[in-house]
């Protein structure tokens, strides 16, 4: 089968089409014929340094997949050949989703909602689960709470805005002025141009901050919280140290890594079916243009998600 591989760590140019043996589904696994594969910022991190997986090159990238079950391994009872599915296999362990076929634990996938295409479904798992696990499982967002979402036009951010709205929150986003209409269209009540305005002077009494950026954004976001509020950091394990600053102030912080989560996928599916969640596709490129997809991802100017078109449904 065709896949994207790399022999060394480096920039987008190290990505190339390779021919590899098609995998077989093991016990409790399914083999998925991939129709579309999502591209995420963490893919660039793994491409350049190995990321959380560590180890040495060669490696194969990709976690977000949407496709059709081709075969099932022994013991699988929840899926059958021909089922259209989507999910985020194995994260944070390697999955190799940039490929024509991928194996996955059966319970890392759910059936694709008919309301969206494979392209949209491939954009949803990693970013959507990140937003869900941050807002719901970690911060326990409740109706009426004030939620600040940084990079609200981005992959995680634009889904987080919609999920927070579905939970009944008052949503404030940061984004460039060119993206304000987009973020407001997702449901945000306020949008702040972080290039023109210091958000710490414009936002107060926030219950939850979703920090997708890291660096100085964590300490600065503490200034926007009301007592007992929380900053959920998604950018780097180094953000865990922020808790030492927050605790004496009566504030909370939590670094989070997204996990494979079948129940979370079902919740995203329910929001899609209710018309409360739609992934925005910035661009869809063929598999062989994965390097270009990574260049665009690293530009920081993308609204929504980038997806690779792999095969036919």
Residue 208: predicted pLDDT? 98
Q: Output the six-digit token pair for 301.
A: 């100017």
Closest listed residue to residue 61, CA positions, set 29, 31, 98? 98
Are 112 and 146 members of one domain?
no
Are 137 and 117 members of one domain?
no
Q: For the chain, first and last CA: distance in Å?
A: 17
Are 28 and 58 members of one domain?
yes
Are 47 and 95 members of one domain?
yes
Q: Output the six-digit token pair for 154.
A: 């981005």
Q: Above pLDDT 90, what percent of the chain?
A: 89
53 pLDDT above the threshold of 70: no
Domain that holds residue 171: 127-255
The model carries a pTM of 0.96
Residue 279: predicted pLDDT? 97
The average pLDDT across 131-145 equals: 98
Are 131 and 251 members of one domain?
yes
Residue 272 lies in a domain: no
Residue 268 lies in a domain: no
Torsion of CA 31, 34, 39, 42, to 10 degrees: 10
Check which CATH number belongs to the domain holding 161 and give it: 3.40.50.720
Q: How far apart are CA 307 and CA 130, in angstroms?
A: 17
Q: pLDDT (tens digit, 9 = 90+) per residue, 226-235?
A: 999 999 999 8
Beta bridge partners of 308: 37, 285
Residue 238: predicted pLDDT? 66
CA 15 to chain centre: 21
291 pLDDT above the threshold of 80: yes
Are 217 and 134 members of one domain?
yes
Q: pLDDT (tens digit, 9 = 90+) per residue, 94-123?
A: 899 999 999 999 999 999 999 999 999 999
Are 110 and 140 members of one domain?
no
Beta bridge partners of 58: none
Are 157 and 219 members of one domain?
yes
The domain tally of the chain equals 2
Q: pLDDT (tens digit, 9 = 90+) per residue, 240-256?
A: 778 888 999 999 999 99
The average pLDDT across 216-220 equals: 93
| pLDDT band at residue 54 using 50, 70 and 90 as cut-offs | low
Are 118 and 138 members of one domain?
no
């Amino acid at each position: 089968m065709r896949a994207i591989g790399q022999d060394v760590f480096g920039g987008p140019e190290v990505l190339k089409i390779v021919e590899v043996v098609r995998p077989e589904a093991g016990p409790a696994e399914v083999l998925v014929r991939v129709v579309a594969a999502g591209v995420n910022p963490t893919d660039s991190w793994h491409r350049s340094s190995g990321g959380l997986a560590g180890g040495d090159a060669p490696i194969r990238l990709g976690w977000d997949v949407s496709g059709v079950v081709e075969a099932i391994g022994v013991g699988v009872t929840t899926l059958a050949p021909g089922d259209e599915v989507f999910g985020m296999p194995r994260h944070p362990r390697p999955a190799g989703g940039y490929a024509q076929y991928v194996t996955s634990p059966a319970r890392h996938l759910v059936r694709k909602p008919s309301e969206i295409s494979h392209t949209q479904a491939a954009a949803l798992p990693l970013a959507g689960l990140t937003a869900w696990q941050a807002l719901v499982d970690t911060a326990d967002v409740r109706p009426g709470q004030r939620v600040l979402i940084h990079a609200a036009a981005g992959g995680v951010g634009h889904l987080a805005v919609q999920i927070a709205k579905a939970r009944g929150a008052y949503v404030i986003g940061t984004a460039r002025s060119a993206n304000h209409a987009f973020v407001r269209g997702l449901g945000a009540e306020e949008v702040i141009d972080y290039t023109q305005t210091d958000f710490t002077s414009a936002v107060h009494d926030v219950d939850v901050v979703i920090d997708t950026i890291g660096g100085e954004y964590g300490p600065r976001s503490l200034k926007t919280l009301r007592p007992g509020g929380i900053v959920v950091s998604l950018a780097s394990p180094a953000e865990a140290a922020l808790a030492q600053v927050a605790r004496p102030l009566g504030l909370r912080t939590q670094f989070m890594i997204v996990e494979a989560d079948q129940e979370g996928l079902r919740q995203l599916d329910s929001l899609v079916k209710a018309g409360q969640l739609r992934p925005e596709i910035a661009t869809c490129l063929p598999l062989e243009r994965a390097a270009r997809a990574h260049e665009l991802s690293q530009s920081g100017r993308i609204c929504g998600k980038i997806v690779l078109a792999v095969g036919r449904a």
